[in-house]
Amino acid sequence: MPNSFLEMAFAEAEAAAARGEVPVGAVVVAADGRSVLARAGNRVEELADPTAHAEVLALRAACQTLGRPRLEGASLYVTLEPCAMCAQAVALARVARLVFAAYDPKGGGVEHGARVFARPTCHHRPEVIGGIDERRAAALLATFFKARR
């Protein structure tokens, strides 16, 4: 079933690209490992909001669905390594597992850059699984940016 959640995240990323947004998609799965709480794609341009990353939008929606600010036991599936802002949101939401496709050496905040979860000030560290279907995610991003250059 986890691959189907990543497939949903890819569908959100492709929809984001169709809207002219950087193609990143995210899906939050409940602690039961079966129920999708929320899914989203980037909407930074559409909403004129620099925080409207797929991860943040999906986490907000999942918290609204549950009526609480923490998502204990939940998993987040995303097509790109979260940036530092999104990684911190994952920690604050107490997400149990983060699964992402492509690594982001330039803007990532999990395995690269700020390495949010490795900081002593980080109060919650999820299980992290990166590089799942990395080539597909990287190709989606490369195609998107090539068309804009």
Which of the residues are catalytic?
55
CA proximity to 18, closest of 144, 121, 146, 124: 144
Is 53 annotated as a binding-site member? yes
The count of other CB atoms within 10 Å of the CB of residue 49 is 12
- Indicate left, alpha or beta for 113 from its phi (over 0: left) and psi (-120 to 50: alpha): left
Q: Which amino acid is at 46?
A: E
Cα angle: 72, vertex 30, 83; to 5 degrees: 70
Question: Residue 107, CB half-sphere, CA atoms under 13 Å: how many?
Answer: 10
Is 83 annotated as a binding-site member? yes
**Which residue numbers belong to the known binding site for Zn(2+)?**
53, 83, 86
**Which residue numbers belong to the known binding site?**
53, 83, 86
